[in-house]
Structure formats: structure tokens, C-alpha cells
Amino acid sequence: MPIATVNPANGETLRTYEAMGEEEIERRLQLAEATFRTYRTTSFEERARLMHRAADLLEADRDEIGKVVTTEMGKPVAQARAEAAKCAKAMRWYADHAAELLADEEPAEADVKDSGASRALVRYRPLGPVLAVMPWNFPLWQVIRFAAPALMAGNVGLLKHASNVPQTALYLEDLFHRAGFPEGCFQTLLIGSAAVDDVLRDERVRAATLTGSEPAGRAVASTAGEMIKKTVLELGGSDPFVVMPSADIDRAAEVAVTARTQNAGQSCIAAKRFIVHTDVHDAFVERFTAGMKALRVGDPMDEETQVGPLSSEQGVTDLVELVDDAVRAGATVLCGGERPDGPGWYYPPTVLTGITREMRIHREEAFGPVATVYRAADLDEAVLIANDTDFGLSSNVWTRDDADVDRFVRDLEAGGVYVNGMTASHPAFPFGGVKRSGYGRELSGHGIREFCNITTVWHGA
């Protein structure tokens, strides 16, 4: 895949870039290692000062970089600006909390004495250069939620971004440079996917994090396992959105539309499978379908657009194949379901009912504005349908019954359970999944500690 900016709204190639050669990659690896030796000793106060400066710059740039993001991957420009603001918020959160999150821990006095020590503590130390392989769908946020905690912990970052967002990738490197971080603290590697393996195998790279597809995750995990390097993987998702009889149906349907179509549905944590109790099924589906039909699809640079194009021609093709397969197998299309004529990689908000286990869309992640609706006879069946997936990233539950909530929190196989709301990432809460959605956690204290050497310090009596 070429490294290029191709406008999804019309398919026009705007800029292309040459991939970095071996000499440039080597130069950057050397710089990362050299910078880490000194940056790792900087104080939390100094790192926080730099991170706050980067956040201020990003916030000031949000209009400009928002347009770049929209041009490169098709996100409606209002959503792109909001993404930039969210990144600045996370950067400030880590700047303000890193010292506390990574403070030395004192074991219980009785345990210290029992170990024969006069004193003992647990200290968090940085690992070194961390390679981040990041996707295009949230091209700012996916990077910042790795970079902010990694840099605040004293690590340095190497970014291999998706090949269709090179301008965004280069902007991020420049952002940290302008903020005053030492040269080499955060570097973008303009390389293709085939070059990732060699970089990951390099001894100077100490760990890796990847957000992306299952095949990409398997490849990185395989190499990292061979090299015995720590990894965090956030892969696909097919999140359930369960609606029970006690739910506020109007509100649930309204939020369901946003949960399925934000970023044109191109989100791992988007609600994709809508599992509705039979008592409220028809009422919810009527409202949900009406909401999907009412969405404004169009030019992502238009402030009023709610759903822009998908990021690529292949993305549209994948959706068409999934929907066509479901329809051939008996699914009913309540709205959408046909690619519109005209330029750009658009696909309409679509609602499918009558889904069966034999359909591909039941098993595969639909990465676009296509919703599948299931009817559940009771809570037990709702749980069974929700867990009948290889993924386990997050989940949404709509109910005002505390017993329902307890059961879903206990039994849903997911990294998050959001009650009466849609899944959303926040710097204070851990983010990640189970099963084929990956392992490890980003954000919160858990995220900043993922790439730390958790060190026991023991003093003899």
C-alpha cells in the first residue's frame, strides 16, 4: 500500500511519500536509544511541563489538523476537531497524574519484616523505545493514548502510522518537537507494513503496542513473542448493545444511532450488534431505524454532515459483501443496504434484521455504518447472543433494573460494560478487551504501567 493522502470523499490522491530507507530507519533507531538514556532521568515535573505545552499546541491547532484528518480518512470535520480536543485533555490528564500513578509503593510493614528486609518498595521504571503500530480511524487519538502515558513514564516513542494518514503522522512528530521534547523522544517512521517486523526485531526496541486488525495483531504478537518483548494489542470489536424492557427506549434508540455511526461506524468500540428484548423489540427498532434514516450523509468538510465516507474503496467493498451475504441468507434490510452512485467511498446507514449464526456478518466485524438487530426472549438469551462472538472489547446495556445490571456485569465477556450509555474512552478508565479483541490495557494507571519495569527494591536488615 502506498504511503499517500487520498481524499475518501472523491478518491483523489493529494500527496504521496517515499518510504524511509534502511539508513534513515537506522538513524532514527540510534536517536531513540540515545535520547532514552537521558530522557529517562528527567523529572515528572519536566515531562509534565512539556506535555502541557504539547496539549496547548494541539488545542490551538485543532481547526487546521482537523481538516487534515478529514482530508486523509474522511471523518466529518466537526468530529475531527473534537478528536483533537479529546487528545489535549488526555495529555493534560497524564501530565497531572503520572507522578502519582507511578509513585513508589510501600509494601505492608508486616510483609517487609517477614521478608527479612529493613525496607522494601516497588518502583516503576521506563522500558525504553516503544514501537506503536497505529490505525487510521482515530489517527490522533489512537496515537496520543499511547504517547502521553509512554512519554510521561520516561519512555520514547516510535510511530508506524497507517499508510493513508501520513500528514497526520508527521504532524504528531512535529507537535512533540515544537513542544520542546528532546529530539528523538517521539519519531514517526514512514514505512510500509512489511518493514515493521525488522524494526520490532531490533534490540533497541523494547516493547510494542498495536491497534488494528487481527492479522496485524497476530504478526506483531508472533514476532514479539519470538523476541520476548512486551506487547499490548487492541484489535477488533463487535460490541453488543442490549436493550431490556425497563430501558428508556427513546433515549436508547437515540444513543444507539450515534453508537453505531460515529466516525461512519469505523470504530472498534462502536456498537454493532443490537440485542433487544422481545417486549420492546418493535418499538426500539422503529425508533432506531428512523434515526438511522434521518442522518445526514455527505461532504465531510460540511459542518452539518453526520456521516462521511469510509476511508477506502476496500472498506466499502467489505461492507457490500457482508450485507449482500446476509440478504442472500434471509436478512431483511430496513434501511440503507445499497451503495450510492457518485464519487467517493460512501455507504449509507443500514439496519438489518433476521440475522442468523450462518451469516458472515454475525461472526465478522462490520467496519462501517451497518447495524444488525437480534430479538432476545429473555435476559439469558440476551447474554448468550452478546457472548456469541470471537470479540470482547466493550458492551452497552440499557436497563433500569439493578438485577439486570448485576447479571450483565458478571456474565458479559468484554473489557467494559457501559450501562445506559455508549462506550467511550476516557483517560481515567482502563481500555482494552478479551478474546480476539486483544490483551493489555491502555489509559488510566493500568495503561501507563504497561510499559514500565516494575522493580522490587529490597534492603537487608
Q: Which of 83, 234, 365, 442 is catalytic?
A: 234
CB 349 within 8 A of CB 297: yes
Catalytic residue check, 234: yes
User: Strand 271-277 and strand 239-243: pairing?
Assistant: parallel
Q: Which of 72, 173, 185, 268 is catalytic?
A: 268
Q: Cell 513514564 maps to which residue?
A: 153
As a three-state string, the secondary structure of the chain is CCEEEEECCCCEEEEEECCCCHHHHHHHHHHHHHHHHHHCCCCHHHHHHHHHHHHHHHHHCHHHHHHHHHHHHCCCHHHHHHHHHHHHHHHHHHHHHHHHHCCCECCCHHHHHHCCEEEEEEEEEECCEEEEECCCCCCCHHHHHHHHHHHHCCCEEEEECCCCCHHHHHHHHHHHHHHCCCCCCEEECCCCHHHHHHHHHCCCCCEEEEECCHHHHHHHHHHHHHHCCEEEEECCCCEEEEECCCCCHHHHHHHHHHHHHHHHHCCCCCEEEEEEECCCHHHHHHHHHHHHHCCCECCCCCCCCCECCCCCHHHHHHHHHHHHHHHHCCCEEEECCCCCCCCCCCCCCEEEECCCCCCHHHHCCCCCCEEEEEEECCHHHHHHHHHCCCCCCCCEEECCCHHHHHHHHHHCCCCCCEECCCCCCCCCCCECCCHHHEECCECHHHHHHCCEEEEEEEEEC
The residues assigned a catalytic role are: 234, 268
